[in-house]
Structure 1
Amino acid sequence: MQIKIQRWLFSLLIIGALFVGGCGSSPVADSTATSNPASGENISLSPSPSPAAVAASSQFSNLPRLEGKATVVMTVKGAPITIELDGTNAPITAGNFVDLVQKGVYDGLVFHRVVREPQPFVVQGGDPQGKDPKFPTARLGTGGFIDPKTTTERRIPLEIKAKGAANPTYSQTLEEAGVKEKPVLVHSRGAVAMARSQSPDSASSQFYFTLTDVPFLDGSYAVFGYVKQGMDVIDKIEAGDRIEKATVTQGLENFKPVQ
């Protein structure tokens, strides 16, 4: 019983720490690993897009997409971190990330949250306000990408594809949508996912790396890729370290920007 209580308290502590302050609509919460990657269920769902999926595709047509894989190399402390993005299973989330990399949004941004105690959790960054060294550290984690075309913050929908599904579930956690299958992309060590607030469609530019498997957040936050090389670099990141440069090195032909 004591062990169960300790785990429950730890989960509350972690989730609370990842919901960054400011306004409730700001894209700042966080997630980490949750489902069982070893699970091999073979679920057969309808192969044809549902009306909801078609509507979602039309609704988010103003957002960039990645139709396939792409590789991003992020340099921190002079060392490279190689990330493989999965636009097959998270086209909007991965496309948004590629677009921001292409725009240079992440260059110079700070990692404002690093959680390793009481056990390893995440390294989070991507708040554009962090590019200003004079911006108050306490307020980092409340900002998102301001699209110069609209002069408003670009937000993307929560996008999670369940195993066996033809299309991702949008704007709902899998539990809210009544989906019992596990996500295709789980929060194993080295996952890259979008941070958000309580609103499912509040993610913008903030992302996080998982430092370990944290399955209790699978199905609630959008994983869109995995670190292929450089976890040793991520393991040494401290709050205040900056992204020196982020570059798309492969797969740009799969990127579909908004025209």
Structure 2
Amino acid sequence: MRKLAIVLSVLASPALATGLEIDIAGEAEGTVRVDLFEDVAPAHVERITTLAEKGAYDGVVFHRVIDGFMAQTGDVEFGKLDGGDMAMAGRGGSDLPDLPAEFSDLPFDRGVIGMARSQSPDSANSQFFIMFDQGHFLNGDYTVVGEVTEGMDVVDAIKRGEGQNGAVIGKPDVMQNVRVTE
């Protein structure tokens, strides 16, 4: 009887959004469409959609971009282009608590979106990254939250960072507007 109650509770819950539209400006110009995997990482998808609906991602830069690897963004605390301290970009998160890992067997291939975190597996908060190429060494160690379905050419054009850490020097590309789609 308890299992039935849990199933009914889950079925009665409101459906999560299925995607995002991200308008990017800078060296890259255009819209990226993302399919979110709410069945794979429901807590992380809920976090991203909650922040997007609040407008928290609007104006946030791609602060860490490593050619052949990934583009990282989502620092809603320090990563705002207007009024943010770009030296601190990548060190912050949201005012919501960190999330427990939701690892899966989905591979980190080109276009896959994963949640950024510190050394602790349970430290993802608001930051995420988009893969330029396959990175299977991340499999099982980072939470997969979705994949790019349109606009990978826009992702490929994001301004690259410098050095081993991929820190973007000068004016970084920015997520001008992030919208939740159904």
Q: TM-score range by the shorter chain?
A: 0.7 to 0.9
Q: Unaligned regions of 5+ residues in structure 2, if any? A: 7-12, 160-167
1:80 aligns with 2:80: no
Task: State the alpha-carbon separation in 1 of the partners of residues 100 and 150 from structure 2.
Answer: 28
Structure having the larger proportion of residues in helix: 1
Cα deviation for residue 247 of structure 1 reads 0.4
3-state SS in 1 of match to 2:18:
strand
1:140 aligns with 2:89: yes
Task: State the alpha-carbon separation in 2 of the partners of residues 69 and 110 from structure 1.
Answer: 23
Residue in 1 aligned with 2:103?
Answer: 160
Residue in 2 aligned with 1:97?
Answer: 48
CA contact 2:61–2:81 (8 Å) conserved in 1 = no
Identity across the alignment (%): 37
Residue in 1 aligned with 2:74?
Answer: 126
Cα deviation for residue 249 of structure 1 reads 1.9
Q: Unaligned regions of 5+ residues in structure 1, if any? A: 1-48, 55-64, 148-153, 162-182, 251-259
Cα deviation for residue 227 of structure 1 reads 0.2
CA contact 2:17–2:181 (8 Å) conserved in 1 = no
Q: Which amino acid aligns with 1:248?
A: V
Which of residues 107, 110, 113 in structure 2 aligns to 1:192?
Answer: 113
Q: Which amino acid aligns with 1:157?
A: P
Cα deviation for residue 201 of structure 1 reads 1.1
Cα RMSD (Å) = 2.0
Residue in 1 aligned with 2:9?
Answer: none
TM-score by length of 1: 0.57
Taking a change above 3 Å as real, the CA distance of residues 66 and 216 of structure 1, as seen in their structure-2 partners, is farther
Task: State the alpha-carbon separation in 1 of the partners of residues 81 and 156 from structure 2.
Answer: 25
Task: State the alpha-carbon separation in 1 of the partners of residues 158 and 146 from structure 2.
Answer: 19
Task: State the alpha-carbon separation in 1 of the partners of residues 180 and 130 from structure 2.
Answer: 18
Residue in 2 aligned with 1:115?
Answer: 66
3-state SS in 2 of match to 1:193:
strand
